[in-house]
Structure 1
Amino acid sequence: MRALRCVVSALLAGLLLASCGDAGPAPTGATTTSTPPLKAAAFPSPLDAPKQNLVDLQGRPFDFGQRLRDRVTLLYFGYANCPDVCPTTMGDISQAMRGLDEGQRKRVQVVMVTSDPARDTPEAFGTWLRQFGPDFVGLTGKIDDIVAAAHSVNIGIEPPKTDAGGDYEVTHGAQVLLFTPDGKGAGYYRSGTSSADMLSDLRTLLNR
């Protein structure tokens, strides 16, 4: 059986990505918002939503430009077979969502894009994702489109590959991206950010 190799690689625009369990430091030049204060680190300027064509786990087209509007969105690039960071991150998001009341939860969406579409079949990925939230949205597609979507929001994942030693290498994002209801990426959470900090920001944005 091939082993899953864990590495850390430099990412785009000063961000870092992780693969199989490592998380990078803050993006270069990142700032924090002050009014109202968010726990998320803010980008120097808001990010636009990805423009690439991906599909949900029912095979329906997912238009980021439309679907990231009118609700607060948490966006993450990862994969179901990740041994540590991805399930831990999704668990933290799940805990934050449970802190909202029913009406608030309807105004927030959690979107996870697989970085390993060959193994994350819709059925397998959906089963894994539902452990964290029955309404969490899973996205898949052609690996080139997934990589392009990630790069467009400064998450530098790469296509999975098998190295010379036969180890299977998959990368994932080191950050969860926070999008406001206008469809702009306003900030990010480093791996290890507490669910309490995420919950605080969700409440802040929902109360604006």
Structure 2
Amino acid sequence: MTRIQKTVFVLVALVAVVLGLTVHKVLNNQGQADPTKLLDAGIVLLPQSRSLPALSMTDQNGATVAVDQFKDKWSLVFFGYTFCPDICPTTLAQMRELKGLLPLEARNNVRFIFVSVDPHRDTPQQIKQYLGYFDPEFVGITADVPTLQKFANAVSIPFIPADTSKENYTVDHSGNLVVLGPDGTQRGFIRAPLNNQKLKEQLPGLVAPKG
């Protein structure tokens, strides 16, 4: 082996070690050491956390909330609307079930958020009543369409604004959940459809408070 070949070999080895340590650090910071099991459960973590834009929205009680201020707990965020015929009621029911499957410590450290992408029909009162059918502790928020699009694009959960002039219009949107860390940044997402039996095994290691 020539000197150049040895140098290249050493450099490649060092890069491999650095990458390995980086992945190990990311996984440890997320509280989960097995990326295969995370992915199998539908949990996709970002290589780096992503800051949210400073956007003001309105919650189900009519109060103003900032999307970059959901902190101190982990948050699972679903974009939908109350007149949705299928995906939304199914997903919210699964979120309610998932909450009940989590151990108490993990459950108390998770916030479930519903973002309505249909502000034309979804008033705070409508959102509050709708979430009451699933879990009154769920947080519901909405805003005007431009603000919603900025939020959705920032977390890579796009939707197509509806033509509200049409009767009984629907809104095309994703079924994925956004995962926010307790620092208010996006850590990843959970792929739809939700597999609660696998999520109940993998989420606690991610969201339980670290001692």
- Same fold, judged at TM 0.5 (above): yes
Number of residue pairs aligned between Structure 1 and Structure 2:
175
Letter of the 1:59 counterpart: G
Computed over aligned residues only, the root mean square deviation of the Cα atoms, in angstroms, reads 2.4
Could you tell me how far 1:78 is from its partner in structure 2? Answer: 0.5
Task: Say if 1:109 and 1:136, in contact at 8 Å, map to a contact too.
Answer: yes
4+ runs deviating over 6 angstroms? none
Name the structure 1 match of 2:188: 187
Letter of the 2:115 counterpart: V
Sequence identity, in percent? 29
SS of residue in 1 equivalent to 2:112: strand
The 1-side partners of 2:54 and 2:173 are apart by 19
In structure 1, runs of 5+ residues without a counterpart are 1-30
In structure 2, runs of 5+ residues without a counterpart are 1-22
Name the structure 1 match of 2:89: 87
Letter of the 2:126 counterpart: A
Task: Say if 1:115 and 1:171, in contact at 8 Å, map to a contact too.
Answer: no
Q: Deviations 1:88-124 (Å, cap 9, x if unpaired)? A: 1111111110123555433210011101111112222
Could you tell me how far 1:197 is from its partner in structure 2? Answer: 2.9
Name the structure 1 match of 2:160: 158
Task: Say if 2:84 and 2:170, in contact at 8 Å, map to a contact too.
Answer: no
Q: Deviations 1:165-206 (Å, cap 9, x if unpaired)? A: 877241222310112212222221222121223323331120
TM-score between both structures, scaled by the size of structure 1: 0.74
Task: Say if 1:47 and 1:186, in contact at 8 Å, map to a contact too.
Answer: yes
The 2-side partners of 1:94 and 1:184 are apart by 23
Go from structure 1 to structure 2 and tell me whether the alpha carbon gap of 1:138 and 1:43 turns closer, same or farther (over 3 Å shift): same
Name the structure 2 match of 1:59: 62
Q: Deviations 1:123-152 (Å, cap 9, x if unpaired)? A: 222111122212000001212111111111
- Are 2:123 and 1:126 equivalent residues in the alignment? no
Name the structure 2 match of 1:41: 44
The 2-side partners of 1:145 and 1:116 are apart by 12
Higher helix share: 2
Letter of the 2:67 counterpart: F
Task: Say if 1:57 and 1:122, in contact at 8 Å, map to a contact too.
Answer: yes
Task: Say if 2:163 and 2:169, in contact at 8 Å, map to a contact too.
Answer: yes
TM-score between both structures, scaled by the size of structure 2: 0.73
Higher strand share: 1
Judge which range, 106-115 or 180-189, deviates more: 180-189
